Chain A
């Protein structure tokens, strides 16, 4: 069966520090992959999506970036975090079967 792993679960980082969040999917090939951010009291904002290796689209201009070095690995990065980057980050995948499967999320607090 397919599973999605996301880590770390929680992270506290100082302003200006770098960020790397990782997401991996097991049990499937060539999934569509997504990064969403959920700010406190707000809905989900799509940050990046990828339909294949090195095929990444950005939805919102910001100081975050994403990479997909392997078929089932999706990484969210930042060179210098801002306070406004705090939130709950969710990775998700789909094979086009209508509907995502989400990871358990990373709670990022920038201090």
Chain B
């Protein structure tokens, strides 16, 4: 079975500062990894995904994440935070299978300080 751990349920950064949201995974087989963003009372939107191609993955809204097998990590970063980045972020893992079940972390709420 696979799992993800998101370190920090709440993260606050100043507008214009670096955003770093941490995610560590556990999987017995090569994983597929995802980051999703959720705005209040909305569904989840895919930010980016790692599916065993390039280890540095670029997503929407200026976000990127790097897959580091040796550290079992898939941290999400953005060089300069914008007020519109305030949301909840979920890391998720799956493995290649017929049902493609995603296992989600507990989420990190990102607050941007003006």
Contacts and interface: CB of A to CB of B under 8 A. Distances in A.
B99 interface: yes
Interface residues of A, number: 25
Contacts of B43: 6, 90, 92, 102-105
10 contacts: A36-B104, A43-B106, A44-B90, A46-B102, A99-B32, A99-B46, A100-B44, A100-B102, A102-B43, A105-B41
B94 interface: yes
B44 A102 contact: yes
Interface string B85-101: 00000100010001111
A102 B45 contact: yes
Most A C-beta atoms less than 10 A away, residue of B34, B43, B107: B43
Contact of A57 (B32, B99, B100, B104): B99
Given A49-B101, A90-B43, A104-B42, A98 B32 contact: yes
A99 B99 contact: no
Given A102-B45, A107-B41, A96 B104 contact: no
B34 to A, nearest CB: 5
